Structure 1
Amino acid sequence: MKSGGANYKAIYTDMIQEKFPEKMVLVKNLLDREKVSILDAIKINEILFPNKSADEERLTQKHKSYYEDDILKILEYQRVNKLNNIQIATKFKMSRNTIAKWKKQFNDVKDQQDSEDD
């Protein structure tokens, strides 16, 4: 799968150097990876902004978007850790309905691909 997503490594490196140089040591191991995934970006964000208010959370949640690779990683995380939709939604601060929609959407796509392979 091709991902033309955001370059989280460059974005967070620039932001940390400019605004949070003291926190670089806390996120260095995440930023040293070849590619910083959406899951890594969420961890970095939690380290940089630990005390967000509920209103700030709601506001930023409205503007999140995910690439297909990111969605599949989240669904894989759910499967590996045997989490239900509510648990995974709480962990990633999103709607359980979003998780259900993704599962339905990507299971349908997977079923279609499997039937084409036959």
Structure 2
Amino acid sequence: MLAWISILAIVIITDGPIGLRPVTHLPGSVERFFALLTVAMLFSLAYPNRIYFIGLSLVLAVFVIEFAQVASFGRHARLRDAGVKVLGVFAGLAVGYFLRAGIDLIRARFSGDPKALPKAANQS
């Protein structure tokens, strides 16, 4: 649910009135990168078996949301901004993937089932 709320927030902040945009005092590229990193990470944690579909969907969403700014007064669509957002998506997918792998490893470690662990972890 949090993943869906985060993408809705991105749409509202990106395409809504400029006054709704939060002020972070960070460069815009940094804000864009970490916003999409967070969204992609949340989606990859929520749907771990759908990483490729999530990646494709979020990259498509980035371009749709970015170019929807053309219709918003006082906003502009830039390919560079979309590129930064796509990099954030890829980084978020990687972070989410490794977080999920770590969570699964911890669960397996404490489940008491030695077959659930990777072979290297069973050598202790």
Q: Taking structure 1 as the reference length, what is the TM-score of the superposition?
A: 0.40
Q: Highest relative contact order (Cα 8 Å, sep 6+), 1 or 2? A: 2
More helix by share: 2
Q: Whose radius of gyration is greater, 1 or 2?
A: 2
Q: Taking structure 2 as the reference length, what is the TM-score of the superposition?
A: 0.39
